[in-house]
Amino acid sequence: MVEVKTKKLANFINGEWIEVEKTTPVINPATGEAILDVPLSDAASVRDAVKAAKKAQKEWALVPAPQRAELLYRVGYILKERKEELSQLLTMENGKVIEEARGEVQEGIDMAFYMAGEGRRLFGQTTPSELKDKFAMSVRAPLGVVGIITPWNFPIAIATWKSFPAIVAGNAVVWKPATETPIMAYELAKVFEEAGLPKGVINVVFGSGSEVGEAMVHHPDIRVISFTGSNDTGRNIAAECGRQLKKVSLEMGGKNAVIVMDDADLDLAVEGILWSAFGTSGQRCTACSRVIVHEAVKETLEERLLVAMEKLTIGNGLDESIKVGPIINKAGIEKIKKYIEIGKEEGAKLLAGGYELTEAEHKGGNYFAPTLFTDATMSMRIAQEEIFGPVVSLIPVKSLEEAIEVNNSVTFGLSSSIFTRDVNRVFQAQRDLDTGIVYVNAGTTGAEIHLPFGGTKGTGNGHRDSGVQALDVFTEWKSVYVDYSGKLQRAQIDVE
Ligand code: UN1
């Protein structure tokens, strides 16, 4: 088992580890134990980080992109070497079961190699000029200093989705990780350091959203804020960035549904629902929290789900046999409990779960039993609002059209899925489901890093993390005209 207590977390600014006096404990959600302290920095640390980033970025942008990418390859190899150790640390700070922690670290490794490849692409476009002897092209230019704010539920993967494209494109980064899960940020900064990233290209400032996050959003030299987290915070950030005309990229969750049609492979659907609803204890933006089921198979699906849910083992995710880990903190538990009450009051039928495990069962940890509601309707709050816990509501429907309407009835639009064997339904659904990600015959989770990640409507503001599209967040298009005619040619006028 890896040792965690001996680590002393510090900000990483201009290649130096800078300790901060004020700290708060990081709690292992599986045990309730304080495992170490996280610094609570103030605006002055953000100013120092931006200053360092600004200076470093000028040089970094001049390094040829394939050489910048070399460093990312090194980052990828180091992450690969340290995969098991990092996965265990991730489980300790976040609670997700070790198998999923390994998957998340793998996502970071994949992102390193994928984005390193971009160092030899970063494609621009050439196009003919309307004038003779004139060359026209558009190229990607880095923004300068970029700010990234990352959540506790995917503390390493999401950080790599944002920082790797930023770095390969020639930016310098100021990064505020979630205070619940600072170990992954500390370790990733160590990896960057070991890989030899020039000082100041990546800067990590630990602290709260109200202190560090605000200072980043207000700092005039931060050219973009890329944020993943809660809806309220995202909207506040967007409002302030709008006022400053600062670019902002938001990813703020979902109310994702699995549709099960009457011709579905029901055993497969059960597996897909279980994995995407109760994996990470439902604490994914992509988690399935609604099952829209054709009435012809509703009862069978309920029965099979209940049998499968019985087998879910709950506990400390470091134990390989555990399937469902803890909830991040007590506030998370309280929020889930509130929705259980709301669901009951609204008239949905509770088929399984609905309770927090007792202290005696899990001393100190925050555990909530996997929960299944049925006979929910489209407009109920449990079918509309993000719960971020292991709670799923079944909504019966009569047709594919109705299923799509129910799916699209929420304000979010991140992920959706359909189980069917009918190719016509597959193509109709992928066209009509109003989400940024659509799965066919799989649950709502499991996005791969080389495809764009993000959603429609209230999930975000149109930008995408991950995939080559992430480069659009961290670069600006520059149109370049080179006239080699030797005379002044006026566009729109000197055209024969
Ligand atoms: C998130 O929950 O914000 O698709 C990220 C998935 C993971 C990433 C989830 N690859 O479920």
Q: What is the pLDDT of residue 79?
A: 98
pLDDT band of 495, cuts 50, 70, 90: confident
- Using a 6 Å cutoff on CB, does residue 75 contact ligand 1? no
pLDDT value of position 238:
98
362-395, pLDDT tens digit by residue?
889 999 999 999 999 999 999 999 999 999 999 9
Distance 481 CA to ligand 1 centre (A): 41
User: What is the pLDDT averaged over residues 410-423?
Assistant: 98
- Res 342: pLDDT: 98
Angle at 23 between CA 19 and CA 26, to 5 degrees: 115
Expressed in angstroms and rounded, the spacing between residue 284 Cα and the centre of ligand 1 is 6
Atom from ligand 1 closest to the CA of residue 437: 4
ipTM over 0.95: yes
pLDDT bin (cut points 50, 70, 90) of residue 360 is: confident
457 Rama sector, left if φ>0, alpha if ψ -120 to 50, beta otherwise = left
Mean pLDDT across 113-138: 98
Any ligand 1 atom below 6 A from CB of 206:
no
Structure tokens at 353: 């779960």
Atom of ligand 1 nearest to the CA of 415: 4
Are 420 and 261 a contacting pair, CB within 8 Å?
yes
For residue 496, pLDDT over 80 is answered with: no
Select from 209, 205, 181, 194 the least CA-distant residue to 104: 181
Q: Where are the alpha helices (DSSP H) in 20-97?
A: 43-60, 65-81, 83-94
Q: From the alpha carbon of 448, which atom of ligand 1 is closest?
A: 10
Helical pair 83-94 and 65-81, crossing angle rounded to 10 deg: 80
Each residue's pLDDT tens digit, 432-471: 999 999 999 999 999 999 999 999 999 999 999 999 999 9
| Average pLDDT of the residues of the chain | 97
pLDDT of residue 4: 80
Measured in Å, residue 447 CA sits from the centre of ligand 1 at: 6
pLDDT tens digits along 101-112 = 999 999 999 999
Q: Is 162 in the pocket of ligand 1 (CB under 6 A)?
A: no
Residue of 102, 156, 226, 286 best suited for mutating to test ligand 1, as the one with most atoms within 8 Å of CB: 286
Question: Is the beta carbon of 276 within 6 A of some atom in ligand 1?
Answer: no
How far apart CA 147 and CA 211 sit, in angstroms, is: 14
The answer to whether the CB of 327 is under 6 A from ligand 1 is no
pLDDT tens figures, 157-201: 999 999 999 999 999 999 999 999 999 999 999 999 999 999 999
pLDDT of 6: 79
C-alpha span between 257 and 260 (Å, rounded):
10
State if residue 285 touches ligand 1 by the CB under 6 angstroms criterion.
yes
The pLDDT value given to residue 94: 98
Can you give the pLDDT at residue 433?
98
The span from the CA of 450 to the CA of 240, in Å, is 31
For residue 138, list its beta bridge partners.
Answer: 125, 479
Name the residue of 111, 256, 445, 465 to mutate for ligand 1: max ligand atoms within 8 A of Cβ.
Answer: 445
| Residue 315 CA to ligand 1 centre (angstroms) | 22
DSSP designation for 213: I
Would the pTM of this model clear 0.90, i.e. be above it?
yes
Q: Measuring from atom 3 of ligand 1, which residue has the nearest CA?
A: 285
Q: Give the alpha-carbon dihedral of 93, 41, 19, 205, to 10 degrees.
A: 70
Structure tokens that stand for 472 in this block: 């659009």
List, in sequence order, the alpha helices (H) in 226-358.
231-244, 266-278, 298-310, 330-346
Residue-wise pLDDT for 313-358, tens only, equals 999 999 999 999 999 999 999 999 999 999 999 999 999 999 999 8
Span 213-237, average pLDDT? 97
CA of 100 to the centre of ligand 1 (A): 11
Contact 146, 171 (CB under 8 A): yes
Mutate to test the pocket of ligand 1, among 148, 150, 181, 284 (most ligand atoms within 8 A of CB): 284
DSSP 3-state of 211? helix
Cα separations (Å) of 315 from 3, 181, 184, 277? 20, 19, 22, 17
Known catalytic membership, residue 251 = yes
| pLDDT digit string, tens, across residues 2-45 | 888 778 999 999 999 999 999 999 999 999 999 999 999 999 99
H or E segment to which residue 167 belongs: helix 157-168
Among the residues of 320-454, which ranges form H helices? 330-346, 400-407, 423-432
Q: What is the pLDDT of residue 5?
A: 75
Q: State the average pLDDT over residues 60-70.
A: 98
Measured from the Cα of 449, ligand 1's closest atom is 10
Ligand 1 atom closest to the CA of 446, numbered from 1: 4
Q: Is 446 touching ligand 1 by the criterion CB < 6 Å?
A: yes
Q: 262-307, pLDDT tens digit by residue?
A: 999 999 999 999 999 999 999 999 999 999 999 999 999 999 999 9
| C-beta of 286 in contact with ligand 1 (< 6 A) | yes
Catalytic residue among 251, 302, 385, 386: 251
Q: Is the CB of 249 under 6 A from ligand 1?
A: no
Residue 178 Cβ < 6 Å to ligand 1: no
Q: Is 250 helix (H, G, I), strand (E, B) or coil?
A: strand
Mean pLDDT in residue range 211-235: 97
